[in-house]
Amino acid sequence: MDKKLVLESGEVFYGEGFGREEDTAGEVVFNTGMTGYQELLSDPSYCGQLVCMTYPLIGNYGINRDDYESIEPSIKGLIVKELCDLPSNFRVQITLDEFLKKKKLSGISGIDTRRLTRLIRDKGVVKGKIVSGDAETEKVVLELKNIVFSTNQVEQVSTKTSYASPGRNFKVVLVDFGLKLGIIRELSRRNCDIIVVSHLITAEEILLLNPDGIMLSNGPGDPMDVPHAYKMIRRLLGKIPIFGICLGHQLVALACGATTFKLKFGHRGVNHPVLDIEKNRVAITSQNHGYAVDRESLKCTELVETHIALNDETNEGIKHKKYPCFSVQYHPEASPGPEDANYLFDEFIALMEQYKK
């Protein structure tokens, strides 16, 4: 079926649709990973976005039962250069096209993804819509200019009820802002007793659970859209060890008086080099965020910068000068991506152990 991707700025990319046939609109972003499309499709941090894959061949290892990062995808659609219809992998169960059909997601293939990526890189992220090939372009552009996307993305992806993943080590309250299952896997690997809670939980409710530590998960959107979260974190500083990832990192910064801003085109991929300042060591990291912590604003807080992105020198990590609290902008649980930064979970365990003594 003939489809086209229309951008708010007026550019049009013609291609062939796959997945469901319905039109779909979202913020158009790009991901630089060569693999990991299944984890990407099921990552709640992509809520409301149309993701362009920069690697030209997507779908070549199909979809399997093990690599999901959530039960239901929150992404709006997928944009690829070439779609593989005949995947080859010993774990494959269905094709990427079949998966999108089952999950009622739209995709478009056969477009110049390099040109699209360069456009986003130069002009910044833009609203776009996948529509039928004969749709009136001017009408779609006008619609995109007037459309206002939801700002309650965390509300859409966060759990509504608390649930547990039992263990016999430290008790960790994991606040779900749109968490990836990889975080639960890493905490479970260290035998933590995990309680996953909604983003709406209060500081008082967390203290009643008497945890040894608090994990603040990743999630979609602007951290300023969830003010209740950083106010909750502020009340917990100094009382319980805290570890934040991605959106959790930005919320820690806001709780301590720093500010955040929207990046021109974000960091999305599995090949981002990050410098650990204290260890003077570089890790290749998995990243997925459209906002960042303002480095200058950290100077007016009790936070210390611990990590820097080597591509654009934006902030990638902080820790509190007095309290047991640290956070990183990237994903130490990877999924997909390298596991260079996996040691941060061990540092969280050590922090809880030290604080408990």
Question: Rounded distance, CA 264 to CA 116, Å?
Answer: 15
DSSP-derived pairing of the beta strands 106-109 and 24-31: unpaired
Question: Rounded distance, CA 29 to CA 39, Å?
Answer: 16
Q: Which helix (H) or strand (E) holds 185?
A: helix 181-189
Query: Catalytic site residue 246?
Result: yes
Neighbours of 249 (CB within 10 A): 28
* Residue 235 burial by Cβ neighbours in a 10 Å radius (0-12, 13-18, 19+): middle
| E runs forming strands in 54-192 | 57-58, 77-79, 82-83, 106-109, 126-132, 163-165, 171-176
Catalytic residue among 47, 52, 246, 256: 246
Catalytic residue among 8, 186, 316, 333: 333
Ramachandran angles phi, psi of 25, nearest 5°: -125, 155
Query: Catalytic site residue 84?
Result: no
| Number of residues assigned to the chain | 357
- Tell me if 197 sits within 8 A of 218, measured CB to CB: no
The angle formed by the CA atoms of residues 68, 73 and 78, to the nearest 5 degrees, is 100
Query: Catalytic site residue 52?
Result: no
Residue 155, helix vs strand vs coil = helix
Ramachandran angles phi, psi of 33, nearest 5°: -70, 140
In the chain, helix, strand, coil percent, each to 5? 25, 35, 40
| Residues taking part in catalysis | 246, 331, 333
